[in-house]
Structure 1
Amino acid sequence: MLTLGIDTATRVCSVAVCNNNKILGSLEVNVGLTHSEGLVPQLETLLKLARVEKKQLELIAVSRGPGSFTGLRIGMATAEAMAYALELPLAAVDTLEAIAYNLPVAGVRLVPVLDAQKGNLYVGSYRWEKDHLTEIEPVRIAAARDLAAQLQAGEEPAILMGECHRVPGTENCDQVTLAPESARLPRGSSVAILGASQYVPRGDIHAYFGMDPFYIRRSEAEKLWEKRHPEGQ
């Protein structure tokens, strides 16, 4: 299945086009541009370099979070607009699962983390079993200062992925190692491959539209609105 993958959950904007498990093209940009500025030109460049026309695409897969509130909205809105214009089905992929998919290593716990603000982290926990990535625990929010100790107390070695630099104390943990930097952050190719493998046709392709991002927590804007409008709660 020829799939376009989009990930804008972090400051990295990553897009890829894959044919099943084969990566035809991938672009990652991590230079501080806002995704609203760079995403569409990046998609156009990707398809041109991969020699894939939009009409050839069969599926669009997008990272749904957790991650940056603004980044997720931009990525999902762009994916929905393209899917609508091209009359293509749409698949949503969990961001932390897509990060863990970057590193197919058996016998360890893969722990992708992303910044959840105010000293907290979004934390996932996955394990490869043969050729299948399995979620060990549901995605949660944990205090960054406590995560290293929690992982050290685990029964199996752990590999930290994602925004590892936000986890203090890991340098003293013999149970915890850091993934190579090239595998730490989201990749559009992992989103595309996972999206294609998880996609189940439902007849009406538009049934996938209106997907909600996987935020876990409320945004600061939502909290402020509720504070100012208590009658609406």
Structure 2
Amino acid sequence: MIVLGVDTSGLTLSVALARHGQPLGEISLSMGYRHSITFQPAVDQLLAACDLTLKEVDLFAVAAGPGSFTGIRIGLAAVKAMAYAANARTIGISSLRALARSSGGDGLVAPLLDARGGRVFSSLYRGSLQLLEEAPREIGDLLTALESILEADEELLITGNGMAVWQQGLQGQAPLPFRPVFASPAFSYIRALTVIELALEDLEKDEAETDPFLLEARYGIASSAERGHHGLAGS
């Protein structure tokens, strides 16, 4: 089975190919929110380098959010179109789950994605076990949730573009009872190969919706346009 993995939910664009679970190649570009320009050339280049065509892809795996609203829409629209053209299946994966796995941490990992307005999309994982529900949180609320779960002096790996929001939110805070450490830049973005890995795990456990027409974004919160329409505050 040929699987094409995609992440456009953040600043880094990542696309990857795998055959029977074995990586064939991956392209990651940290060029900002230029996915509408860089996505299709990256996919075409990767397919050509792996001597494959789009119609040979059996499954498309995509990071479905939360993250950048525009980025998520670009990725999902492209995946649906490619899956339709290839008569293939699709699987959507949580961006926070993929970010936690991409960090390489084998202990407690808190994936954080900037949700604007001083908030972060956040969760907590120990390996494949999710310990904290995904939600946009202010740093104070996140600390309260983490302190109720972590043991004193326990190490916590923090990853993702929400790390800067975390550090700003800690200004003036008392020392933390646990020990936060930060993922290096090389491990603080979502890898498309990780999206493939998680999709195959869900497929094996029969826990995945594979109909392209039922593939949905996981925005986490309303977009700014939607908030304006409903009279909600925030950016």
8 Å Cα contact 1:3/1:193 also seen in 2: no
| Normalised TM-score (structure 2) | 0.84
**Residue of structure 1 equivalent to 2:13:** 13
Of 180, 183, 196 in structure 2, the residue corresponding to residue 179 of structure 1 is 183
Q: CA deviation at 1:224?
A: 1.7
Q: Secondary structure at the match of 1:125?
A: strand
**Residue of structure 1 equivalent to 2:155:** 157
8 Å Cα contact 2:110/2:157 also seen in 1: yes
Taking the TM superposition and a 5 Å limit, the aligned residue runs for 1:61-140 are 61-106=61-106, 108-128=107-127, 133-140=128-135
- The code of the aligned residue for 2:156 comes to A
2-side partners of 1:219 and 1:25: how far apart? 33
- The code of the aligned residue for 2:160 comes to G
After superposition, the C-alpha distances for 1:69-127 in whole angstroms (9 at most, x for unaligned) are 11000000000000001100011000011111123433x21101001111100001111
After superposition, the C-alpha distances for 1:138-182 in whole angstroms (9 at most, x for unaligned) are 111111356467646731321001112221139x65611011221
8 Å Cα contact 1:148/1:167 also seen in 2: no
1-side partners of 2:203 and 2:123: how far apart? 21
Q: In structure 2, do the counterparts of structure 1 residues 19 and 218 end up closer, same or farther at CA, with 3 Å as the change threshold?
A: same
Indicate the larger mover: 108-117 or 12-21: 12-21
Q: In structure 2, do the counterparts of structure 1 residues 71 and 93 end up closer, same or farther at CA, with 3 Å as the change threshold?
A: same
CA RMSD after TM alignment: 2.6
8 Å Cα contact 1:151/1:158 also seen in 2: no
Indicate the larger mover: 146-155 or 73-82: 146-155
- The code of the aligned residue for 1:161 comes to T
Q: Secondary structure at the match of 2:117?
A: coil
Large movers: runs of 4+ above 4 Å: 145-153
**Residue of structure 1 equivalent to 2:192:** 188
Q: In structure 2, do the counterparts of structure 1 residues 220 and 201 end up closer, same or farther at CA, with 3 Å as the change threshold?
A: same
8 Å Cα contact 1:8/1:72 also seen in 2: yes
